[in-house]
Amino acid sequence: MKKSSQLQIMASKEEKALSPKAAYSQNSLQVIPIILILMLVSSASTATAGQEAEALLNWKASLDNNKSLSLLPSWIGNSTCNWEGISCNNFGSIAQINLTSSGLRGTLHAFGFSSFPSLMSLNLSHNTIFGTIPLEIGFLKSLRTLDLTGNNINGSIPHEVGMLGNLTFLSLHDNKLSGNFPIEICMLSLLSVLDVGINNLTGSIPEEIGNLSSLTFLALGGNNFSGSIPSTIGNLTRLKVLYLMANQLSGSIPPEVGKLKFITNLGLVDNKLNGSLPSEMNNFTFLKQLWLSNNNFSGSIPQGICIGGVLEMFTAHNNQFTGLMPGSLRNCTSLVRLRLERNQLTANIAHEFGIYPKLTYVDLSYNRFYGELSENWGQCQNLQSLRLSNNRISGGVPRFEGSMQLHVLVLSSNNLTGTIPIELGGLTLMFNLNLGDNKLSGSVPVEIGMLTNLQHLNLAANDFSGPIPKQLDRCRELLNLNLSRNRFGGSIPPEMSSIDSLQVLDLSQNSLMSEITPQLGNFMKLEALNLSHNELSGSIPSTFDNMLSLTVVDMSYNHLEGPLPNNKAFHEASALAFANNTGLCGNATGLNVCPSETRGEKKSSKSVIFIVLLVLGILFFAFVVTGILCVVYYPREAQLNEDRFAVWSYDGRLQYEDIIEATEEFNSKYCVGVGGNASVYKAELPTGRIVAVKKLHMLQDRGVANLKAFESEVRALTEIRHRNILKLYGFCSHPQHPLLLYDFVEGGSLENILTDENHAVKFGWIERVNVVKDVANALSYMHNDCSPPIVHRDISSKNILLDLEYGAYVSDFGTAKLLNLETSNWTSFAGTFGYSAPELAYTMEVNEKCDVYSFGVVALEVIMGKHPGDLLSYFLSLSSTSTPEPIQLNDVLDKSLPPPGNHVVNKVITVANLAFACLRTNPQSRPTMQQITRELLF
Ligand SMILES: *[C@@H]1O[C@H](CO)[C@@H](O)[C@H](O)[C@H]1NC(C)=O
Ligand SMILES: *[C@@H]1O[C@H](CO)[C@@H](O)[C@H](O)[C@H]1NC(C)=O
Ligand SMILES: *[C@@H]1O[C@H](CO)[C@@H](O)[C@H](O)[C@H]1NC(C)=O
Ligand SMILES: *[C@@H]1O[C@H](CO)[C@@H](O)[C@H](O)[C@H]1NC(C)=O
């Protein structure tokens, strides 16, 4: 490195003219009939290599994306057989086109279908292809495989697909196709896989579907198909997988379904199906996964569902099933997951269940199971989650001695009696233990303190007595502790104050006595505290001033006196929170001002009374109005809750509960990162897909209308597909924990990789330049190719993720804005410290140029191996007229790597120059992302 490594701050260049978009002509549609006839006449002739090359180059030119130049760089000249994604047959004609996940963006209208008579396989899955499927698709006479999964294709499926008589594999999964299912597809007698799931198809499933006698896989889920399931489906006797979930199908299951004797996976969840299941379903000897939940099925569950002994997953929750458990389930040792909650099953739970070595998840809540729990549950070695709440189960709590994996045990709202077995203390993975609302008694065993992973403990509404065990202080992960409505006595143990993770503490309605220990003020994270209905006396310790997170308090019905602590929650609590005490005073509604504060000011206490009356009046009015609104709006709200997730997967609509289940209620063992406003969890969905779940901390209160706005914005973001933008699958607007669901990227964040020494060395110059390019491509796409443009607002090395090959994905696009949707103090949001543009200190307007600045910081960070810190201050200090000192490249490059070799040094210099240009103080003189991507096209 010699002179060339001296950098000058780049002068901003004139933006070059946009390369003309080779638009496809709308008129071409009208020309089709003529072309069609001409082509049919000449269809016997084989296309020459020249024709094929020309057709592909035309199509490439039509892809309206300034990136397509760098895309498919090998597509030049005539020798198509060597082009990326192309394979030829022995005669030199194109036989396969495989451009999956290639960042293609455009339509299929300029794809010269008639030029590829030998094409057998066309795989364009996971790109951004939009527009309709051209009718000329019918020309691909040799086609056996057509895979357009994961694009944005709209319009209806053309009948011409029915002309592809050799087709064995057809997937249009996850697009925006609408209209009816074309009957012509039912003529494709060789078709083995047919997947049109996750589109907007309507109408009924045609009877002719029964003609597809070679089908082994049929997926129609995630559409709007209505009507009933045609009985001809029974003719598909080779079918192994049948997915009809998440439609509007009604009626009952036709008995002919019983003829599908090879079926392994049957998914019918989220429809309006009713009636009882046909007894013919008793003969499915290969059945592995049966999903029936969220319908209106009634009658009993077929006895033979596990007759083949291979059933792994059975979900039938939210139906009207009655009667006993299916007999074959008793010894179904293959069972892994069982969800039957919210039915009307009536059975003696002591007899219906055996021992299941593989079972991990069971939910039988909200049924009518009775009888006692067997100790056999303790022999299910892999059991992680057992929920049996809201049944009529009696007897004692089993010891679960062999269930060492048990994390979640919910036995609430039953008729359990006796004491808590001390053996439960051995279940050290326990995370959520809920025995609330039973008839349990005695004192709580000290062994409870062995549950060091416990986050939720609910023993409320039982008959427990004795002291609160001080050993609870060892449960250092506890978030939520509810011991209310028991007969606990003595004082609140001061040791408890060391549970500094605690967020909710409810000790109400017990017989707790004496003064409140000042140590309780150590609960820095406590949000809700209920000590009401006890015998507590003395004053509230002034240490409570420190509980900054506290938002809800209830101290009513005690013998407390003296001043309230100087704490926001106390000041803002309603009068009810302090009612029926001996003599509390202070600056809060309904309380007398403390004597020392008010000496000689009668007037103000009068006005206090007036204000109190006024506030009470308003409160009363508010209650009445809310009451009315609740009655009027209740059904709508329920509907909204049902619709919480906008994610579709093979087993139907994902629900909040599925995420809860996959993360074992956000168990920290699944947590892969914690940021300022969210925690991220890695979750494996029932389908096997791995996703990143981003759980947002506390969202501002939002009305239903805002929630809708939030939903529609996120929905728009879910439709964005770019290979350098982390795919957002969906969201859940659960009021407590709003969730966003993303693709899971294995490598970790750019920040982590740069700070991890092992990685930083492997992360060479070429990889680093490519990461900068990827991030630029993502930003350029969002700024220029989206309408309206989407500004990220919070670009930093934290939210750029890298896969194992150092491919970069920008995450959290657009969500920064959504998270602040309702905050009026816009300026309080200024992105991540150290990355946000200087103008944000004085303007409220966040625009593309802010992203450009942050991009500059990240680009510099990538080549420096650390955040450019001081260098940024240096840039800020430059006035627009002064000539900057030249910066030695050597001074900034990451020292943990050998200096860049000849092949890459110029690229590194370009990146550095661009980064400096992005850091200009004046937003107008920063380049646009489009200019940057063009500079990076080396
Ligand atoms: C298309 O390519 C993707 C990615 O390589 C692959 O998963 C899929 O199976 C391919 N489709 C067909 C029909 O082979
Ligand atoms: C298809 O199913 C229908 C109704 O179930 C039946 O009448 C018909 O004979 C079947 N066709 C074939 C070819 O099996
Ligand atoms: C479900 O079926 C029951 C009868 O089994 C019926 O009373 C009820 O109205 C149905 N519910 C819906 C939503 O269709
Ligand atoms: C506190 O607990 C009592 C009794 O359990 C309950 O009635 C009251 O609503 C609770 N207070 C708050 C603010 O939740």
Here the CATH number for the domain that contains residue 730 is: 1.10.510.10
CA–CA separation, 321 vs 343, rounded Å? 5
The rounded Å distance from CA 298 to ligand 3 centre is: 9
Q: Please count the other Cβ atoms lying within 10 Å of the Cβ belonging to residue 143.
A: 26
% of the chain surpassing 90 pLDDT: 51
The rounded Å distance from CA 250 to ligand 3 centre is: 12
CA–CA separation, 190 vs 699, rounded Å? 52
Q: Assess whether 785 carries a catalytic annotation.
A: no
pLDDT at 625: 45
Give the ligand whose atoms come closest to the C-alpha of residue 233. 2
Which residue is closest in CA terms to ligand 1's atom 5? 100
Which residue is closest in CA terms to ligand 2's atom 7? 232
For 772-778, what is the mean pLDDT?
94
Measured over the CA atoms of residue 512, residue 516, residue 522 and residue 528, the dihedral's sign is positive
Q: How far is CA 533 from CA 490, 536, 549, 556, 579, in A?
A: 14, 9, 23, 6, 10
Specify the ligand 2 atom closest to the Cα of 211: 13
Residue 818 contacts residue 708 (beta carbons within 8 Å): no
Average pLDDT, the chain: 82
Strand partners, 802: 748, 808
Measured over the CA atoms of residue 566, residue 567, residue 568 and residue 572, the dihedral's sign is negative
Residue 509 contacts residue 534 (beta carbons within 8 Å): yes
The amino acid present at 678, given as its one-letter code, is: A
Q: Which of 296, 322, 343 to mutate to test the pocket of ligand 3 (most atoms within 8 A of CB)?
A: 296
For ligand 2, residues with CB inside 6 Å are: 210, 231-232, 234-235, 256
- List, for residues 88-117, the tens digit of each pLDDT value: 999 889 999 999 888 788 999 999 999 999
List the binding residues. Answer: 695
Residue 605, pLDDT > 50, answer: no
Specify the ligand 2 atom closest to the Cα of 235: 1
Which residue is closest in CA terms to ligand 3's atom 13? 296
Domain assignment present for 723? yes
CA–CA separation, 618 vs 677, rounded Å? 34
CA–CA separation, 562 vs 571, rounded Å? 14
pLDDT at 746: 86
Strand partners, 563: 585
Domain assignment present for 856? yes
Grade residue 737 by pLDDT with cuts at 50, 70 and 90: low
pLDDT at 32: 37
Residue 296, pLDDT > 80, answer: yes
Q: Is the CB of 533 under 6 A from ligand 4?
A: yes
Q: Please count the other Cβ atoms lying within 10 Å of the Cβ belonging to residue 158.
A: 18
Domain assignment present for 7? no
DSSP-derived 3-state class of residue 16? coil
Specify the ligand 4 atom closest to the Cα of 577: 13
pLDDT at 617: 57
List the binding residues for ATP. Answer: 695
CA–CA separation, 811 vs 693, rounded Å? 12
pLDDT at 50: 81
Residue 754, pLDDT > 70, answer: yes
- List, for residues 447-479, the tens digit of each pLDDT value: 999 999 898 999 999 999 999 999 999 999 898
| From 134-138, 271-275, 429-433, 605-609, the region with the lowest mean pLDDT | 605-609
Residue 844, pLDDT > 70, answer: no
The pair of structure tokens assigned to 470 is: 């001080």
The rounded Å distance from CA 199 to ligand 2 centre is: 29
Give the ligand whose atoms come closest to the C-alpha of residue 343. 3
Q: Which of 320, 342, 344, 642 to mutate to test the pocket of ligand 3 (most atoms within 8 A of CB)?
A: 320
Specify the ligand 1 atom closest to the Cα of 193: 13
DSSP-derived 3-state class of residue 463? strand
Q: Which of 100, 101, 217, 689 to mutate to test the pocket of ligand 1 (most atoms within 8 A of CB)?
A: 100
- List, for residues 406-436, the tens digit of each pLDDT value: 989 999 999 999 999 999 999 998 989 999 9
Element (H, E) at 606: helix 602-642
Residue 507 contacts residue 534 (beta carbons within 8 Å): yes
Residue 372 contacts residue 395 (beta carbons within 8 Å): yes
Helix, strand, coil % in the chain, rounded to nearest 5: 30, 20, 50
Domain assignment present for 171? no
Q: Which of 527-531, 686-690, 884-888 has the highest mean pLDDT?
A: 527-531
Give the ligand whose atoms come closest to the C-alpha of residue 125. 1
Specify the ligand 3 atom closest to the Cα of 272: 14
Q: Is the CB of 274 under 6 A from ligand 3?
A: yes
Grade residue 65 by pLDDT with cuts at 50, 70 and 90: low
Domain assignment present for 312? no
The pair of structure tokens assigned to 281 is: 């379903």
Grade residue 825 by pLDDT with cuts at 50, 70 and 90: very low
The rounded Å distance from CA 268 to ligand 1 centre is: 26
Grade residue 631 by pLDDT with cuts at 50, 70 and 90: very low
pLDDT at 618: 58
Give the ligand whose atoms come closest to the C-alpha of residue 506. 4
Q: Is the CB of 127 under 6 A from ligand 1?
A: no
Q: Are strands 552-554 and 128-129 parallel, antiparallel or unpaired?
A: unpaired
For 850-877, what is the mean pLDDT?
87
pLDDT at 397: 97
pLDDT at 637: 32
Domain assignment present for 233? no
Higher pLDDT, 658 or 9: 658
The rounded Å distance from CA 577 to ligand 2 centre is: 70
The rounded Å distance from CA 238 to ligand 2 centre is: 14
Which residue is closest in CA terms to ligand 3's atom 14? 296
Q: Is the CB of 102 under 6 A from ligand 1?
A: no
- List, for residues 910-922, the tens digit of each pLDDT value: 999 899 899 888 8
Higher pLDDT, 496 or 706: 496
Residue 482, pLDDT > 80, answer: yes
pLDDT at 804: 87
Which residue is closest in CA terms to ligand 3's atom 6? 296
Higher pLDDT, 20 or 365: 365
Which residue is closest in CA terms to ligand 3's atom 2? 296
- List, for residues 181-193, the tens digit of each pLDDT value: 999 999 999 999 9
Tell me which residue range forms the domain holding 677: 656-936
The rounded Å distance from CA 510 to ligand 4 centre is: 12
pTM of the model: 0.71
DSSP-derived 3-state class of residue 325? coil
Q: Which of 235, 256, 257 to mutate to test the pocket of ligand 2 (most atoms within 8 A of CB)?
A: 235
Q: Which of 248, 270, 274, 319 to mutate to test the pocket of ligand 3 (most atoms within 8 A of CB)?
A: 274
Domain assignment present for 819? yes
Residue 897, pLDDT > 80, answer: yes
Residue 827, pLDDT > 70, answer: no
Residue 875, pLDDT > 50, answer: yes
Q: Is the CB of 296 under 6 A from ligand 3?
A: yes
Q: Where are the beta strands (DSSP E) in 241-354?
A: 241-243, 250-251, 265-267, 272-275, 289-291, 296-297, 313-315, 322-323, 337-339, 344-345
CA–CA separation, 615 vs 613, rounded Å? 5
The rounded Å distance from CA 104 to ligand 1 centre is: 16
pLDDT at 710: 62
The rounded Å distance from CA 507 to ligand 4 centre is: 9
Q: Is the CB of 298 under 6 A from ligand 3?
A: yes
Residue 24, pLDDT > 90, answer: no
Q: What is the dihedral of CA 171, 176, 181, 186, to 10 degrees?
A: -10
| From 223-237, 499-513, 691-705, the region with the lowest mean pLDDT | 691-705
Which residue is closest in CA terms to ligand 2's atom 10? 235
For 548-557, what is the mean pLDDT?
90
pLDDT at 626: 45
Q: Which of 794, 812, 851, 894 is catalytic?
A: 794
Residue reference for tokens 């057998």:
120
The pair of structure tokens assigned to 512 is: 């707790």
Residue reference for tokens 């309507």:
202
Give the ligand whose atoms come closest to the C-alpha of residue 194. 1
CA–CA separation, 351 vs 255, rounded Å? 30
- List, for residues 114-160, the tens digit of each pLDDT value: 999 999 999 999 888 999 999 999 999 999 999 999 899 999 999 99
Residue 10, pLDDT > 60, answer: no
The rounded Å distance from CA 99 to ligand 1 centre is: 9
pLDDT at 19: 30
Specify the ligand 3 atom closest to the Cα of 296: 1
The rounded Å distance from CA 509 to ligand 4 centre is: 9
Q: Is the CB of 312 under 6 A from ligand 1?
A: no
Domain assignment present for 898? yes
Q: Give the total number of structural domains in the chain.
A: 1
Give the ligand whose atoms come closest to the C-alpha of residue 148. 1
Residue 868, pLDDT > 50, answer: yes
Q: Is the CB of 532 under 6 A from ligand 4?
A: yes
Q: Is the CB of 123 under 6 A from ligand 1?
A: yes
